[in-house]
């Protein structure tokens, strides 16, 4: 508990409260007091009601209150490509389908596709996401409209973009984003080179300087495939990790997405430099990229977070599904049932995600003084009964559809699975219309 305040807006209470990721921290018949955008107090229902008798209450007798999930690698607008060209080799998928259609994207298409992805994220328990894609201003606009916390960057690469055109315009675009969202309570701008194989050393370095100037995250796809490794070795005589090291771009603000193919010396280097990792297992499996050595990363003290990647290569943004896969696949990959246990996996999806985004002092756990980003799970369901260990149930049994309430920055954005900050049916209708246009375009490419 903390010192009582008379400005508490809501008492959110339930059967259980899981402030972080450990079973030992579980509280029974407890909740949080929300004041403005923050958590004023955590405690038993009895204590909270005694301290704040006039506060509005939302109580779920079968509810579990927990931190919102944090998705650290998305291409949110790629929901518009979901299922467009599945079960194909990576380069066929990219060159024959994704790249040609992306060339016809507009800011409005990206806005509506991002709204669809955000609807899916909120309804499956995600309260924060980190996105790198095209037309990032429109991604940020959608996040702001929907009231979700987002880290957003415009992806830059050496060739012209359908978003900003020539590369020089891309740097201007990013600078404009820093100005536009400087005071936003929800949107944080990042610097996002696509990868070492699509970005020259000069581009990588310029964005690194910009990230340093703004103290922002430097988000990059890193060591995702064998092809990427081969291209980098051919061009620069070293692996992608060592290439970034040679350029002075590995540091505590670097968020490396994927990191599928690493040797022990590279893992040591990432750990020494304080690099954070966004692990995207389901996407890596679907594209047959490989299995990232995250157990070794954790042993070396690397901050591990989880991401879904885009819906064109996953094909959803359900972090409960991602946790389930992560915990199971690494057990069989290591032939050890004790690795990536439930608490470790849940930590990666909550406080680990917050730390990867340099935001663990503000989000990732339900602690007085932190932002009120919380979700409520309905435990009164066959697949969640009986309840022996909460983290275990969250990782191995729960589903995104079990989330009934969601709060972001103290604001309720979903109540009893009804979205409160957008018209879900309108979002679905608009995206169905866009999807029909994309299908026609993809068919013309193949024809």
pLDDT tens-digit readout, 232-282 = 999 999 999 999 999 999 999 999 999 999 999 999 999 999 999 999 999
When comparing pLDDT for 438 and 301, which is higher? 301
Q: Which of 48-57, 97-106, 144-153, 290-299 has the lowest mean pLDDT?
A: 97-106
| Residue 57 pLDDT | 98
The answer to whether the beta carbons of residues 150 and 140 sit under 8 Å apart is yes
Count of Cβ atoms closer than 10 Å to residue 395 Cβ: 25
Class of domain 69-356: alpha beta
Is 136:427 a contact under the CB 8 Å cutoff? no
Would you place residue 439 in the very low, low, confident or very high pLDDT band (cuts 50, 70, 90)?
confident
Look up the CATH number of domain 10-67+370-416. Answer: 2.30.40.10
pLDDT for 288:
92
Share of the chain above pLDDT 90, in %: 91
Pinpoint the alpha helices (H) of 155-223.
167-180, 201-214
Of 75-89, 102-116, 232-246, the poorest mean pLDDT is in 75-89
Q: Under a CB-based contact definition with an 8 Å cutoff, are residues 50 and 88 in contact?
A: no
Average pLDDT over residues 202-223: 98
Question: Could you tell me the two tokens for 398?
Answer: 């729960």
Residue spans per domain, the chain: 10-67+370-416, 69-356
What integer best gives the mean pLDDT of the chain?
Answer: 95
Residue 226: other Cβ atoms inside 10 A: 12
Contact 45, 27 (CB under 8 A): no
pLDDT score, position 314: 92
Torsion of CA 221, 280, 355, 244, to 10 degrees: -20
Q: Let me know: does 218 contact 256? Beta carbons within 8 Å.
A: no
- pLDDT at res. 96: 85
Task: Tell me the whole-structure pTM to 2 decimals.
Answer: 0.97
């Amino acid at each position: 508990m903390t010192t009582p305040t008379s400005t508490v807006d809501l008492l959110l209470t339930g059967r259980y409260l899981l402030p972080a990721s450990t079973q030992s921290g579980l509280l029974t018949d407890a909740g949080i007091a929300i004041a403005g955008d923050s958590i004023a107090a955590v405690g038993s229902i009895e204590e909270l009601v005694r301290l704040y008798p006039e506060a509005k209450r939302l109580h779920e007798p079968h509810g579990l209150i927990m931190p919102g999930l944090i998705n650290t690698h998305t291409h949110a607008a790629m929901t518009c490509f979901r299922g467009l060209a599945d079960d194909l080799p990576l380069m066929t998928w990219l060159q024959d389908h994704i790249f040609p259609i992306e060339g016809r994207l507009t800011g409005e298409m990206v806005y509506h596709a991002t709204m669809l992805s955000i609807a899916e994220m909120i309804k499956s328990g995600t309260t924060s996401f980190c996105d790198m894609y095209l037309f990032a201003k429109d991604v940020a606009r959608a996040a702001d409209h929907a009231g979700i916390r987002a880290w957003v960057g415009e992806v830059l690469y050496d060739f012209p973009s359908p978003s900003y055109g020539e590369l020089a315009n891309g740097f201007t675009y990013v600078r404009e984003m820093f100005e536009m969202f400087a005071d936003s309570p929800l949107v944080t701008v990042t610097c996002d080179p696509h990868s070492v194989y699509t970005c020259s050393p000069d581009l990588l370095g310029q964005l690194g300087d910009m990230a340093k100037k703004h103290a922002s995250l430097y988000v990059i796809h890193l060591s995702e495939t064998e092809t990427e490794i081969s291209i980098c070795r051919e061009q620069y005589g070293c692996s992608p990790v060592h290439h970034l090291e040679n350029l002075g771009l590995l540091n505590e603000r670097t968020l490396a997405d994927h990191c599928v193919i690493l040797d022990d010396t590279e893992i040591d280097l990432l750990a020494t430099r304080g690099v954070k990792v966004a692990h995207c297992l389901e996407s890596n499996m679907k594209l047959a990229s490989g299995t990232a050595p995250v157990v070794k990363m954790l042993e070396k003290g690397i901050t591990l977070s989880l991401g879904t990647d885009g819906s064109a290569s996953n094909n959803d943004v359900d972090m409960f599904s991602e946790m389930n896969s992560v915990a199971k696949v690494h057990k069989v990959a290591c032939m050890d049932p004790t690795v990536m246990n439930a608490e470790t996996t849940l930590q990666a999806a909550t406080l680990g995600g917050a730390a990867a985004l340099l935001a663990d002092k503000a989000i990732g756990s339900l602690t007085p003084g932190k932002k009120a980003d919380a979700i409520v799970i309905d435990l009164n369901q066959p697949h969640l009964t009986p309840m022996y260990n909460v983290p275990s149930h969250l990782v191995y049994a729960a589903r995104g559809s079990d989330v009934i309430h969601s709060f972001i920055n103290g604001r309720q954005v979903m109540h009893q699975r009804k979205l409160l900050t957008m018209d879900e049916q309108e979002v679905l209708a608009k995206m169905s219309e866009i999807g029909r246009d994309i299908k026609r375009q993809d068919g013309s490419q193949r024809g």
